[in-house]
Amino acid sequence: MKFGILILEGPYQHQAGDSAYNFAEAAVAKGHAISGLFFYCDGVQNATTYMTPPQDDRHISKRWAEFIAKHGVDAVVCIAASKKRGITDANLIKGARIAGLGQLTELGIESDRLIAFGD
Amino acid sequence: MAGEDLNEEERSEEDKKKFLFLMRKAPYGSIYPQGGLEVILIMAAYDQTISVLFADDGVFCLKKGQETAGIHVKDFSSAFKVLESYGVEHLYVDKTSLEERGMKPEDLLTGVEVVSSDEMSGFLSGQDVILPF
C-alpha cells in the first residue's frame, strides 16, 4: 500500500511527529511504500537544521533526513508555514523541499491512504 | 509552485477523490481550523469532491458575530461563508455537538446541513481521504 503522511505538530513538544516517524518506519519494514511526507503548521519545524538535541535523545530532523535519503521519499515542507517560522532552503534538511499546499492535495490523490499526525 | 500547473490539466475520474475535512477544534485556540481552511481553499482548485464536517468544538468556527480585534488575530470565519463560491458545496454540522453547546442552526454563519451521529458515521465511511483539523 502507498501511504502519504501529513505531520502537523512540532518536534520535542508533541508525540505526533514521533508517531509519524515510527509509522513510516514500520510501514516500510512491512513492505509498504511511503508516497510522500508533507510537513504543515508547526510540523515544518521537524524538517529544519536548527535543532541540536542532547546526544542521548533522538535527533528528529536528522532521523527524517536519513529516512528520506534511504527510501527516496518526496518530503514537502509547506511554504506558508515555513515563512511564518523563518524556514528557508538555507536551514532545511537535505532531501526536503519547500512547496505549496497543492502538493498536499496531490499526495491525497496519489496515496492509497493519507495519514494525518496531529493533535 | 508545481501544483498550480496541474490545476489546468483535465483529471480523469479515477483521480477524483472524496476529501472530507473534519473540523473538530474551536477557532483561534490553535492553528488547526485556519490551517484546515487554507488547505480547503487550495484544494478547491483541484477538481476534487470536498466536504467539510464541523464537530465537537469545531462548530464554534461557524458561530455568527466573531470579533477578534481584542486578541489581535485575523477573523477568518467569513471565509467559511464563501466556500460555496469555491465549489465546496457540502458543509455539515454534527447535531449532537451543536446541541451540547446550546447552539442552534440559526446561530451559524452559513447554511449548513445538520446531521445526526448515525448519518455522520455512514458519511465518514464513504470518504477516500479524511483530513482532521
Residues of B in contact with A100 (CB under 8 A): 1, 3-4, 42
The shortest CB-CB distance from A105 to any of B30, B32, B42 is to: B42
| pLDDT tens digits, one per residue of A35-70 | 999 999 999 999 999 999 999 999 999 999 999 999
Q: Is the pLDDT of residue B1 over 70?
A: no
The shortest CB-CB distance from B17 to any of A79, A100, A108 is to: A108
**CATH architecture for segment(s) B17-132:** 3-Layer(aba) Sandwich (3.40)
| pLDDT tens digits, one per residue of B54-66 | 999 999 999 999 9
The per-residue pLDDT for B3 is 45
CB contact under 8 A, B42 and A100: yes
Q: Is the pLDDT of residue B6 over 80?
A: no
DSSP secondary structure letters along A34-99: EEEEEE-GGGGGGGBS-----TTS--HHHHHHHHHHHHT--EEEEHHHHHHTT--GGGBPTTEEEE
Please tell me which residue in A78, A92, A96, A114 is annotated as part of the active site: A78
CB contact under 8 A, A116 and B19: no
Q: Label residue B53 by pLDDT band (50, 70, 90).
A: very high
Q: Label residue B18 by pLDDT band (50, 70, 90).
A: very high
> CA B60 → CA A67, A81, B103, B121, B129, distances in Å?
39, 24, 9, 21, 23
Helices (H), chain B: 2-7, 32-43, 77-81, 95-100, 117-125
The per-residue pLDDT for B31 is 97
Residues of B in contact with A1 (CB under 8 A): none
| pLDDT tens digits, one per residue of A96-117 | 999 999 999 999 999 999 999 9
pTM (predicted TM-score): 0.92
Q: Is the pLDDT of residue B44 over 80?
A: yes
ipTM of this complex > 0.90?
yes
Give the A-side interface with B, CB within 8 Å. Answer: 6, 8, 40-42, 79-81, 99-106, 108-109, 114, 116, 118-119
**CATH architecture for segment(s) A2-117:** 3-Layer(aba) Sandwich (3.40)
User: What mean pLDDT do residues A15-30 have?
Assistant: 98
